[in-house]
Structure formats: C-alpha cells, structure tokens
Amino acid sequence: MELDVMNISGKSTGKKVKLNKEIFGIEPNDHAIYLDVKQLTNRKRQGTSKTKERAEIRGSRKKIKRQKGTGTARFGDIKNPLFRGGGRVFGPRPRSYGGKLNRKVKDLARKSALAYKVQNKQMMVVEDFNMEAPKTSEFAAIQKNLKLDDKKSLFVIDERNKNVYLSSRNLQNSKVITLSELNTYEIMNASALCFVESSLEVLQKNA
C-alpha cells in the first residue's frame, strides 16, 4: 500500500511512501481501541471529589432520644446520615481513575486506529515544511490547499516546531502534535490525519 507525498501547495511531489503492513495493514481491534481511549480519558479526570462521612461531621455524639417507647424509629446521634447536615453514606473520596493497561494492548490500539484511517482514506502524507514566523493565515492557507479547512485535522510532526505549533493554535479544527504525543484518542478524534514525511519515516522505523 502506497500514499502520494503532497506539498503544502496541495500538489503531488511525484514521490510515494510505502506503508508498513505491520502498522497500517493489520485487522483493527475495536476492543483494544475502546480500552485505550477509556484509560486516556479517565486519566484526565481530577478525582478530587470529596464529601464528609459520619465520622468527619462536627457535632455531638449524644444519643438524641431513648431507644424504645417513642413510637418512632430509633436514632443515634445528630450526625446520622438520615438527618439534614449529617454525614454522607459511601460518598466520593479522592482517587485516581486511570487504570493499568498493558503496553502491547496500547500498541495494538494505536495501530488499529491508524489502520482505520488508511482504510477510510482519512490519512495523507505531506513533505517536510517549516515556517519562518508564526502566521495563522499561512497555516490556514496550507489547510485549504490540502482541502482540510472544513475537517478536524491532526498534523503529526517529527519534533516540536514552535512556529508551526503557534500558527495552528488559534484554528479551531486543527491540531499539531509531535510523534511522541500521538495516541489512540487523538487519532480517532480527528477526521483527517496528516503526517509530515519525516514523522512517518520515524514511526515506521520504530515499529
């Protein structure tokens, strides 16, 4: 399987890139994608919710009324969860929501997501480019040339490029990340995946 290498003007350079079947040609595993995306989104949760339980409420420990003979239910102290201002029963406590996921499952999930992009023709390769200064209008023009201006696009570059990053930051439907930041959620969340030539080369080399 091969893809044409485009330039930032939206025209073919005449070069082609052969895709590694071990990455882009596998049978996608939906459950692996689900597990990886679930872990990534769970890790974004703060997990700081906290309510006071019965032992943490400030109040008297004295029994409110006698045990028997009142004709109503028996009660203990005023910190009873049934009373207004009482302690919460089994309330939330600070915790981490990120679970453990094996590295092989995470790798399979990312490869499955990449395979889906190739199957759905939502992936393209652009030759390496640089920007002399941060210019949002120039990056928007690149998107338009590549026919990505109306799509939620994800650009994957080999190493952090400050000018390219700053140029894309104000565009709502575009995001630029480095290869080391690429994960299953980012791939599946984009409707168009765009690799620069050098980042795709490194990805396939390290597979």
Domain that holds residue 192: 2-28+100-205
Domains identified in the chain, total number: 1
Give percent of the chain with pLDDT exceeding 90: 66
pLDDT at 131: 87
Q: Give the Cα separation of 203 and 193 in Å (integer).
A: 14
> Does the CA dihedral 82-86-87-88 come out positive or negative?
positive
Look at strands 2-6 and 12-18 and give their pairing: antiparallel
Element housing 6 (H / E)? strand 2-6
pLDDT at 98: 84
Question: Does residue 74 lie within any of the structural domains?
Answer: no
- Residue 46's nearest CA partner among 94, 106, 111 is 94
Instruction: Please tell me the pTM assigned to this model.
Output: 0.81
Question: Does residue 90 lie within any of the structural domains?
Answer: no
Q: What is the mean pLDDT of the chain?
A: 91
Q: Give the Cα separation of 4 and 195 in Å (integer).
A: 12
pLDDT at 130: 87
Question: Does residue 134 lie within any of the structural domains?
Answer: yes
- The CATH number linked to 151 is 3.40.1370.10
